[in-house]
Amino acid sequence: MKGNEALALAAIHGGCTHFFGYPITPQNEIPEFLARELPKAGGLFLQAESEIAAVNMLYGAAAAGARAMISSSSPGLALMQEGISMLAATEIPCVIVNVMRGGPGLGGIQPAQSDYFQMTRGGGNGDYRIISLAPATLQESAEMMQEAFALAQKYRTPVFIVSDGMLGQMMEPVELNKSRSKERVAEQPWILTGHHNNRSPRTIKSLRLDPAELEIHNLRLQEKYKRISQAEVRFEAYREVDAELLFCAFGSTARIVKNSVDDLHQKGYRAGLIRPQTLWPFPALAFRSLPKSCRSVICVEMNCGQMLDDVKLAVEGRVPVHFYGRCGGMIPEPEELTARALDILSGDSQ
């Protein structure tokens, strides 16, 4: 099945009950699939009049306790940022999918990763963080989609799925775990369901005019983000043990890098890959304990160098950090990466 369909089907089997969205390429198979299948599973599909409406419908539905999601692509996500800041402020569990395309502005419709900043730094205001899960295969897309709902509930937070046009449009075999929708959802003693049983009123709000109160709220959020940073960091390490050159790449780019790592091994060079599966929290610890053999790191992205900042912060200047990027919807070939790696390796050995 297509990557977008895998995400959509996994959402249903992850217990998703409500979907809101507005069409945009290259994520359209998600609403297409859910428009057909979610009502059959007893859920609700609604095509909103805009991305801004969609994110606020999500806000409302999830505040009332629904397992809800939205999906869009890069410029659509930009429109949703105000709502995302609200969701973070009010700690609403929900899942937001970004099938990235080239930017800035409307950009293009081909695959890109130029929303790394948008997915890890946010475009909304305020001190907030959002868990960002970045799959590299369709199997992982499906698994992360289900995991996203669980994480959202566990921490009362929005969760991003960071896909792109390549992962969204391609097909690959997927084995779906169909038991996850049956997982018990913990009691949510904060949801707004109307106080029909004369229970005391509940409030969800993001406006706190008393600075002392707002500071306390912020510090509590920060404490939660710290817990997430400690418990939920995920990455894959591939042939890294004795690597001289360590690649860092996420998502679809990491697939291509793996080809290049294997090429380099065949040519007699020791290359490895660190693939962040969570973009936030970033797996800095993978770089804190670099293998002794590692003499340089190269960050490869389908953008002009965004995750590069996090890699440099994590490497802390111990070895040089290089960069190779393609952008605008251009996809690197393994051969380009191998050539760049060979340049670096020969430069290092001089």
Partner 1 sequence: MYSERILCAGFGGQGVMSLGKLIAYAGMLDGRHVTWMPSYGPEMRGGTANCSVVVADQPVGSPIVTTNATCLIVMNLPSFEKFQHSVSSGGLILFNTSLIDRQVERRDVLAQPLAANELAAECANPKAANMVMLGAYMGLKGAPRLDHVVKAMKKVFGDGSSTLFNQNMKAVRKGMEAVGKVTASKKAA
Stretch that binds partner 1, among 32-40, 41-49, 257-265, 298-306 (CB under 8 A): 257-265
> Looking only at residues 302 through 321 of this chain, which bind partner 1 when binding is defined by CB under 8 A?
none
Q: Among residues 14, 26, 83, 107, which is the contact residue for partner 1, using CB under 8 A? A: 26
Considering Cα of 23, then 28, then 34, then 36, what sign does the dihedral take? positive
Closest distance to partner 1 from the beta carbon of 125 (Å): 34
Q: Which of 41/170 has CB closer to partner 1?
A: 170
> Looking only at residues 126 through 185 of this chain, which bind partner 1 when binding is defined by CB under 8 A?
137, 165-166, 169-173
User: What would the DSSP string read from start to end of 133-165?
Assistant: E--SSHHHHHHHHHHHHHHHHHHT-EEEEEEEH
For residues 40, 41, 43 and 45, what is the CA-based torsion angle, rounded to 10 degrees? -50
Residue 196: burial class (beta carbons within 10 Å; 0-12, 13-18, 19+): exposed
Contact between 313 and 280 (Cβ < 8 Å): no
Q: Which of 129/326 has CB closer to partner 1?
A: 326
Q: Among residues 262, 312, 327, 328, which is the contact residue for partner 1, using CB under 8 A? A: 262
Q: Which of 124/165 has CB closer to partner 1?
A: 165
Rounded distance between C-alpha atoms, residue 241 and residue 161, angstroms: 29
Contact between 147 and 118 (Cβ < 8 Å): no
255: part of which helix (H) or strand (E)? helix 251-266
Q: Which of 88/97 has CB closer to partner 1?
A: 97
Closest distance to partner 1 from the beta carbon of 252 (Å): 8
Q: Among residues 27, 73, 98, 110, which is the contact residue for partner 1, using CB under 8 A? A: 110
Residues that bind partner 1 (CB under 8 A): 25-26, 109-110, 137, 165-166, 169-173, 255-259, 262, 331, 333-335
